[in-house]
């Protein structure tokens, strides 16, 4: 693990892309012997600084296992993962994780601001900086007014914004999200997707998102890692050339958008049959 | 003593009394209002006292049941007796001290057993063995070791409450949401920090339940320790008045115990509601 205090401004993906996160031959098998289950066979991909990359695959393909391995919550059975060229074991300090299930990842006994404070405590930052980080993060997700409320007093979309704000206040260099918008309504989902793109643009964060929603993947990504088959392996890494900034109405109406969607969908369908 | 590992269900008291709510509203009585609650509570108490007085005057139970009036006179006489106050405070002190030690010990043991696998397996058989043994069975042993002392009463309270508190805390530790723990881990929170800032608050509803059940139990055990083991406090005062044949005083002391039990129950429920205001069972506003 290298430096614990990440910088907030990263060069945007552009002329000279740097591999921020490099996954090489990642494999995961549960159990031993004849009863063992191979969930992930071989995953190889890399993410450049400031990129938004979506991992798309059919449900039950082992996306959550993959994420747990990436976040260092679970040991992998093979392969390597490197951040800026350094191999990682345990949970990397420069990484934050947003779970799909916001109601379970937020602590119900803590107010919104205390939830944001929770992961910051062990960083031992000056009190003033902690305060600024929390205020800025809540402001970023538009929840400054809800600082003193409890998560369970908020709607699902607001709770997921709290979970995102908690990740932002932690100032990770890499943000990993596990189907973060799967359990919110369609309108909130669009808002949260745009929030995701906004924090990338403003804070230069590198974002890895796991989803089963192909439209969402096409809309958000700079590149899509399509995975399929049991055990999971990379089918193809597709660049998404839609113009930036993305727009929920115009970007989704582009012919390239539906072209990409068709391509990803048929890739995944093929792998299933 | 119950050793259930249940967390209060959502406003159990209210849902019961709200079911026939429509009919009651039609009749114009709101049983949820404080005045109605208080009024009907008094009504019940008065009815019981009436029944008691009637049975006492008729002599249904002979000498064994003094009249309400004789008991109340004796009760007021007790209030002027410094020895009574010493006994009362000794009883309360022992019960409270016992409960505090039981919670602290229960939390430490529960966290230890609940989070470290080998400790859990090493203690499983032992806790299962001690679980069904009521403290009263161990009382003669405690009297033999410590004699009729405060220490004996305290030891007995601990024997009766530490294990149940520990079992509750273990259940609470097991009930900690794995997503919450994974979140804490992914943010680089260490083992001890996760234990104190995630696992312990998650287990707090279970600790609350153990206090609510344990507080009245602790009081009962202190009294039993006095009544049967001769430890100082209200228990031995009851024993003395009983063997002196002063039944009105015996009943007056039992009344005091009843009130103390009520206070212990309500106080622990109140603290529980305060501390656990975030828990689904106690939340004030529902979306």
For an interface test with A, which of B10, B175, B183 has the most A Cβ atoms less than 10 Å from its Cβ? Answer: B183
pLDDT at A260 over 50: yes
CB contact under 8 A, B188 and A97: no
Which is the CATH superfamily of the domain at A19-94+173-272? P-loop containing nucleotide triphosphate hydrolases (3.40.50.300)
What's the pLDDT band for B7 if we cut at 50, 70, 90? Answer: low
Chain centroid to CA A177: how far? 3
**CA-to-CA distance for B232 and B261, rounded, in angstroms?**
18
pTM above 0.90, yes or no: no
**Residue for token pair 């024997």:** B159
Please give the helix or strand (H or E) that residue B51 lies within, else none.
helix B34-58
**Nearest CA to B136 among B221, B242, B217?**
B221
pLDDT (tens digit per residue) in A20-76? 888 888 888 888 877 888 878 888 888 888 888 998 887 777 777 888 888 888 888
Q: Do the interacting molecules here have an ipTM over 0.85?
A: no
Minimum-distance CB partner of A96 among B186, B189, B190: B186
Minimum-distance CB partner of A107 among B182, B190, B198: B198
Please give the helix or strand (H or E) that residue A181 lies within, else none.
none
SS3 A148: coil
- Could you tell me where in chain A the CATH 3.40.50.300 domains are found? 19-94+173-272
Residue A35 φ/ψ, nearest 5 degrees: -85, 0
Contact of B176 with A98, CB cutoff 8 Å:
no
pLDDT of A72 reads 82
Please give the helix or strand (H or E) that residue A147 lies within, else none.
none
Classify the C-alpha dihedral A18-A24-A30-A32 as positive or negative.
negative
Residue A28 φ/ψ, nearest 5 degrees: -145, 120
Segment A206-210 mean pLDDT: 89
Q: What residues in B contact A107, CB-CB < 8 Å?
A: 180, 198, 201
Based on DSSP, count helices (H) and strands (E) in chain B, helices before strands. 13, 0
Which of A212-216, A242-246, B58-62 has the highest mean predicted lDDT (pLDDT)?
A212-216
The nearest CA of chain B is from the CA of A270 a distance in Å of 33
CB contact under 8 A, A73 and B186: yes
Instruction: Indicate the DSSP class of residue A37.
Output: E
What's the pLDDT band for B16 if we cut at 50, 70, 90? Answer: very low
pLDDT of A15 reads 46
**CA-to-CA distance for B233 and B136, rounded, in angstroms?**
17
Q: What residues in A contact B197, CB-CB < 8 Å?
A: 118, 121
Residue A45, chain B, CB below 8 Å: the answer is no
Q: How many CA atoms are closer than 13 Å to the CA of A257, on its beta-carbon side?
A: 16
Segment B255-284 mean pLDDT: 88
Minimum-distance CB partner of B186 among A91, A109, A152: A91
pLDDT of A131 reads 92
Instruction: Name the residue of chain A whose CA is nearest to B199's CA.
Output: A107
CB contact under 8 A, B179 and A152: no
Q: What is the mean pLDDT of chain B?
A: 85
pLDDT (tens digit per residue) in A140-184? 888 889 889 999 998 888 898 899 889 888 888 888 888 888 777
pLDDT of B20 reads 46
CB contact under 8 A, A105 and B279: no
CB contact under 8 A, B187 and A96: yes
Classify the C-alpha dihedral A59-A44-A238-A84 as positive or negative.
positive
pLDDT of A18 reads 60
Segment A219-243 mean pLDDT: 81
Residue A150, chain B, CB below 8 Å: the answer is yes
CB contact under 8 A, B180 and A104: yes
Q: What is the mean pLDDT of chain A?
A: 81
**CA-to-CA distance for A272 and A231, rounded, in angstroms?**
11
**CA-to-CA distance for B211 and A159, rounded, in angstroms?**
32
């Amino acid at each position: 693990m290298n430096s614990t205090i990440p910088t907030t401004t990263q060069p945007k993906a552009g002329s000279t892309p740097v591999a921020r996160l490099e996954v090489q031959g990642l494999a995961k098998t549960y159990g031993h012997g004849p009863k063992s289950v191979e969930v992930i066979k071989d995953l190889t991909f890399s993410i450049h600084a400031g990129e938004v990359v979506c991992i798309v695959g059919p449900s039950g393909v082992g996306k959550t296992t993959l994420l747990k391995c990436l976040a260092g919550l679970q040991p992998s059975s093979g392969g390597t993962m490197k951040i800026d060229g350094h191999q990682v074991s345990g949970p990397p300090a420069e990484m934050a994780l947003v779970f799909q299930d916001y109601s379970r990842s937020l602590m119900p006994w803590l107010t919104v601001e205390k939830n944001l404070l929770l992961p910051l405590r062990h960083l031992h930052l000056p009190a003033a900086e902690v305060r600024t980080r929390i205020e800025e993060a809540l402001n970023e997700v538009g929840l400054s007014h809800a600082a003193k409320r409890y998560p369970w007093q908020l709607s699902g979309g607001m709770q997921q914004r709290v979970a995102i704000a908690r990740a932002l206040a932690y100032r990770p260099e890499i943000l990993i999200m596990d189907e973060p918008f799967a359990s919110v309504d369609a309108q909130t989902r669009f808002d949260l997707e745009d929030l995701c793109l906004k924090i990338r643009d403003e804070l230069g964060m590198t974002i890895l998102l796991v989803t089963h929603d192909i439209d969402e993947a096409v809309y958000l990504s700079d590149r899509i890692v399509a995975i399929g088959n049991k055990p999971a392996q990379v089918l193809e890494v597709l660049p998404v050339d839609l113009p930036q900034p993305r727009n929920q109405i115009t970007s989704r109406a582009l012919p390239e958008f539906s072209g990409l969607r068709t391509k990803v969908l048929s890739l995944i369908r093929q792998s299933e049959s | 003593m119950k050793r259930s590992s249940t967390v209060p269900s959502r406003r159990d008291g209210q849902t019961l009394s709200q079911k026939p709510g429509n009919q009651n509203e039609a009749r114009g009585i709101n049983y949820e209002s404080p005045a109605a609650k208080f009024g009907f509570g008094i009504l019940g108490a008065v009815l019981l006292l009436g029944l008691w007085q009637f049975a006492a005057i008729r002599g249904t139970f002979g000498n064994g049941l003094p009249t309400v009036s004789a008991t109340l006179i004796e009760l007021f006489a007790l209030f002027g007796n410094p020895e009574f106050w010493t006994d009362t405070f000794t009883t309360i002190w022992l019960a409270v001290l016992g409960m505090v030690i039981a919670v602290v010990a229960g939390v430490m043991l529960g966290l230890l057993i609940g989070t470290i696998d080998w400790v859990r397996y090493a203690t499983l058989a032992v806790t299962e063995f001690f679980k069904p043994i009521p403290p009263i069975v161990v009382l003669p042993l405690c009297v033999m070791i410590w004699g009729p002392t405060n220490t004996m009463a305290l030891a007995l309270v601990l024997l009766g409450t530490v294990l149940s508190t520990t079992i509750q805390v273990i259940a609470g530790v097991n009930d900690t949401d794995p997503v919450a723990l994974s979140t804490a881990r992914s943010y680089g929170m260490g083992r001890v920090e996760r234990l104190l800032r995630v696992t312990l608050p998650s287990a707090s509803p279970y600790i609350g339940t153990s206090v609510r059940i344990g507080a009245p139990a602790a009081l009962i055990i202190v009294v039993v320790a006095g009544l049967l083991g001769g430890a100082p406090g209200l228990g031995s005062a009851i024993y003395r008045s009983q063997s002196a044949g002063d039944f009105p005083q015996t009943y007056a002391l039992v009344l005091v115990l009843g009130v103390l039990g009520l206070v212990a129950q309500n106080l622990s429920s109140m603290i529980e509601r305060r501390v656990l205001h975030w828990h689904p069972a106690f939340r004030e506003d529902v979306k």
